[in-house]
Amino acid sequence: MRPGDFLALTNLPILHLIPPLNASLSRNISDTSTAYTFSRVFSSRDRKTLASTAMSRENAVIRDRESLERKTAAIRSAGASKLQVIADFDGTLTKYSINGRRGQTSHGLLQQGNTEYDEKRQALYDYYHPLEYSPTIPIEEKTKLMEEWWEKTHGLLIEGGLTFDAIKKSVADATISFRDGLVELFEYLEEKDVPVLIFSAGLADIIEEVFRQKLHRSFKNVKVVSNRMVFDNNGRLISFKGKTIHVLNKNEHALDMAAPVHDKLGDPNGSVDDYTMVKNRTNVLLLGDHIGDLGMSDGLNYDNRISVGFLNDNIEKSIESYKEAFDVVYLNDASMWGVVDLVSQLCPSNQ
């Protein structure tokens, strides 16, 4: 999630949609210590899913299976009206690697259509990116540096005359793709009226364009909370809305920014207070690809949280810390099918 990283790009084929997984399901959580296994009763139309699920099963690591089962049972018993999903975008909903190449981020894919300004943003990336990972810079100072980086980058996008057409072209040309099973996951959650908050330090307008171009559809339960652009009547960027959301402060805003989606979906308890609505959904499924993403549920006084981490690279180095941090860890750029299955347990189709 960084402003920079320019790579050559290719467009990807339209995702083929298959029906949501609401058919009769049965499951069995095995006794193996790490693998989260289950079985389904699949119709013939779900064969593709079966193969994909088997693959995702191989890639799942669980430190405390009993704890996961306990949380799953508690969330299922509370019902879908108590559940919300909070997800990171880059590297979580999107693939880390595409045909052997590193997938691009919502910031990284952007080509301004102005080489001078693309190079200026790249120069900022080259300067600030090492600072982001510096172990010696205190957090307060690093936060200021990240603010500086994001704001300078946003300034260059305005100064360089970014247009919405350039965003559309950048996305069309981008090496970016959603994990397999994402559509089915979102469809299932939509059917259950479970809100999905996508929280990102990238650019909301780009993320939404990625949804439009790669999925050709939107979901009424999905809300993107990220840096949002303001365009003039000619489709030229003139400003950004609200406070800059960068990599070190994105979690502070999660709860504030979540309110509108809960508002739109309505609330079974009939409250008019957005915060009450957010807080009434006291069970959380959190999806991220960095341990810091766990902070996305900060400020929410949840009853139960199941966290799913996608560990995409440096697996040997990071597996122990990810296992400690997340309830379920998916390895090797796994698909979303394991999460689809988890959600079908949290919100069974017959409820």
Q: To the nearest whole angstrom, how small is the minimum distance from the Cβ of residue 276 to Mg ion?
A: 30
CA distances from 109 to 10, 11, 98, 127, 340 (A): 11, 12, 14, 19, 28
Is 267 known to be catalytic?
Answer: no
Which residue, chain included where needed, has tokens 């402060």? 249
205 vs 289 by CB, closer to Mg ion: 289
Q: Cα 30 from chain centroid?
A: 28
Q: Which of 3, 4, 20, 91 binds Mg ion (CB under 5 A)?
A: 91
Task: Name which of residues 115 to 134 contact Mg ion (CB under 5 A).
Answer: none
**Binding characters for Mg ion, 285-304, by CB under 5 A (x = yes):** ----x---------------
CB 270 to Mg ion: min, Å: 36
Which range in 37-45, 86-94, 186-194, 298-306 contacts Mg ion by CB under 5 A?
86-94
Q: Which of 5, 46, 88, 256 is catalytic?
A: 88
Query: Is 202 one of the binding residues for Mg ion (CB under 5 A)?
Result: no
Residue 16 CB-density burial (10 A; 0-12 exposed, 13-18 middle, 19+ buried): exposed
CA proximity to 332, closest of 314, 350, 351: 314
* Residue span 142-181 as binding mask against Mg ion, x where in contact by CB under 5 A, dash where not: ----------------------------------------
Determine, following the binding rule CB under 5 A, whether residue 88 of this chain makes contact with Mg ion: yes
* Shortest CB 92 distance to Mg ion, Å: 5
| Span from 7-15, 83-91, 132-140, 260-268 in contact with Mg ion (CB under 5 A) | 83-91
- For the bound state, the minimum distance from the C-beta of residue 241 to Mg ion, rounded and expressed in Å, comes to 22
Sign of CA dihedral 331, 335, 339, 342: negative
CA–CA separation, 74 vs 233, rounded Å?
A: 50
Give the list of residues 6+ apart from residue 307 with CB closer than 8 angstroms, or none. 286, 287, 288, 294, 325, 326, 327, 328
Q: Per the residue annotation, which of 46, 90, 205, 293 is the catalytic one? A: 90
User: Within positions 230 to 289, which residues make up the interface with Mg ion, using CB under 5 A?
Assistant: 289
Task: Give the DSSP H or E segment for 329.
Answer: strand 328-331
Active site residue 90: yes
CA geometry: angle at 87 spanning 301 and 56, to 5°? Answer: 120
The residues of the shown chain that bind Mg ion, judged by CB under 5 A, are: 88, 90-91, 289
* Catalytic center residues: 88, 90
